[in-house]
Amino acid sequence: MTEQDKKSGTNGEEQLRGEKFFNDPGFWGFIHRSFTKSMGYTDGDLRKPVIGIANTFSELNKCHSHFRELTEYVKRGVWQAGGLPMEFPTISIGEPYVKPTTMLLRNLMAMDTEEMIKGHQIDGVVLIGGCDKTVPAQLMAAISANVPAIVLTGGPMLNGRLNGQSLGACTDCYQFTLEHKAGNISDQQLSDAENAVCRSDGHCQVMGTASTMAAIAEALGMALPGCAAIPAPDSRRRHMSEATGIQIVELVRRNIRPRDIITPESIDNAIRVTMACAGSTNAIIHLVAIAGRLGYKLPLERFDEISAATPFILNVRPSGKYQMEEFFEAGGVPALMKELEPRLNGDCLTVTGQTVAENLRDVTIPNRDVVAPLDQPLGAQGGIAVLRGNLAPNGALIKQTAVSEHLKKHRGRAVVFNSPQDLIDRVDDPNLDVEESSVLVLKNAGPKGAPAMPEIGQIPIPKKLLLQGVRDMVRISDARISGTSYGALIVHTAPEAAVGGPLALVEDGDEIELDIEARKLELYVDDETLRRRKEKWQAPAPAYDRGYGLLFIERVLQADEGCDFDFLQPPEIRNKK
């Protein structure tokens, strides 16, 4: 809140923004009251705290298809608590629908949300999101606007069901399309699977990016405990929506703001929860961007430190056995955090008005097959590892819990694709010079190159190998992957190829070594050869020459810096560059 938003009330307390807006005795107060009353509000309504509800409903976003209903339950809670709910729209970005990628629009959504909050005289805001980039965009906006805020996520889908088996989007989407490509399932079987995977409202029901970001919102303290895992169609999602509406009014009354809640310590909690549940690699980009909005430069090493000290304990796909529906029944994020409590920062404030430790006081863990004990983990380390070496001097990521065991240490010959289109054109060519031990390399799929790092890092297995039974290979790119992906996928390689990073210099036949335990990603080409290649290298033509796309290319930061726009970070970060 800026100084001009503040004004002393009659009791000596700070006057609310909405109160100032509606109680102005002059011309503008008249206009504000008159226009608002025309919508059916009364003088009594205009004396209540004004609660904005950012509703990201869109028919172009399947994950948000039920948000109109959730908004009504939020409004019910706001009215009950003595507030005045006022719904407003923002950009809504649905992962399967936006091309070339939703990552192109995450920063735009953050800007839209921030300016809507700052530009309207609301006293608090409920941020309703769910699909992958919506929650991080809203959290980034909340920090920058710093008006009392609370996150309500839309919840995961029910488990898909087919022939007595549970299915999960999009982990099984990859599997079905892969087997169809290999000729192992028919067109009709593929169609049956399409109809069975997504059988309710909600976002992906595995620990993909949407579920990971919902868990992070809870771990940061920005969502009510238990919010993340409630299935979208479950009546308790409606109860959570009403409770969220009630709680935002309390946050306004207590003047608790996002920067009181989101701190370096609470970000550490979010990282630990991400590692324990083998969450999406996308979470790293988003958490770095969230930290950057605080003026906190979050190094990749911090993720690796926490991962090394955090066992993988959540038995949820794609790294485990179950899905979000079972995680909810096993206590959800509160149960996971209860098991992690000895390693969490328990004194961090949350939107309940209480600390993490106070929220966890009475939490139990009902199912140890879903949430494993710390001393009997599913894996000794967290789900994500940070790799470095001459191929990724600024870091690369791999979800180590989803890698085939025989590929965790591997050396092979590079097969290079120079662009996403080159990959499409050649990966299934029967004459492609590739074998099972090869390392597939995709260039120019990063923030500036693709543009905006689309989720194409799960490079397809070449068809000639697929037909031989190969189902995993080491694959390297400067792209991203869906949190639902699996395999030996090295992503977020920084600096990216499009700015002349080492990835740009890899050629067919080069030897590349992956060693997850040593955190190493090494290109075995001598420095003189790399120097000569760099002299010949030319940057690819930019994808845009105008508009927002050009702004994105010119101002986006690299993956290890969160892919935010440089001008959206506070001066204390910008001035250090």
The CATH number that domain 385-543 falls under is 3.50.30.80
Instruction: For residue 261, give the DSSP letter.
Output: H
Q: Are 378 and 394 in contact (CB under 8 A)?
A: no
- 18 φ, ψ to 5°? -65, -35
- 10 φ, ψ to 5°? -65, -25
Can you give the pLDDT of all 577 residues of the chain as single tens digits?
444 344 333 333 578 999 999 999 999 999 999 999 999 999 999 999 999 999 999 999 999 999 999 999 999 999 999 999 999 999 999 999 999 999 999 999 999 999 999 999 999 999 999 999 999 999 999 999 999 999 999 999 999 999 999 999 988 998 899 899 889 999 999 999 999 999 999 999 999 999 999 999 999 999 999 999 999 999 999 999 999 999 999 999 999 999 999 999 999 999 999 999 999 999 999 999 999 999 999 999 999 999 999 999 999 999 999 999 999 999 999 999 999 999 999 999 999 999 999 999 999 999 999 999 999 999 999 989 999 999 999 999 999 988 999 999 999 999 999 999 999 999 999 999 999 999 999 999 999 999 999 999 999 999 999 999 999 999 999 999 988 788 999 999 999 999 999 999 999 999 999 999 999 999 999 999 999 999 999 999 999 999 999 999 999 999 999 999 999 999 887 777 5
Instruction: For residue 234, give the DSSP letter.
Output: S
Please report, for the chain, the start and end positions of each structural domain, with discontinuous segments joined by +: 14-47, 48-158+200-360, 161-195, 385-543
Give the integer Cα–Cα distance in Å for 67 and 152.
Answer: 10
Q: Are 116 and 16 in contact (CB under 8 A)?
A: no
Q: Are 457 and 489 in contact (CB under 8 A)?
A: yes
Beta strands in 119-275 (DSSP E): 124-129, 149-153, 160-162, 165-167
Nearest in space to 108 (alpha carbons), one of 147, 140, 148? 140
Tokens of 442: 């995709």
Give the integer Cα–Cα distance in Å for 495 and 393.
Answer: 7
Residue the block writes with tokens 């550490």: 268
Record the pTM. Answer: 0.94
Superfamily per CATH, domain 48-158+200-360? Response regulator (3.40.50.2300)
Radius of gyration of the chain (CA): 24
How many contiguous H segments (helices) and E segments (strands) does the chain have?
21, 14
Q: Which residues sit opposite 417 in a β-bridge?
A: 442
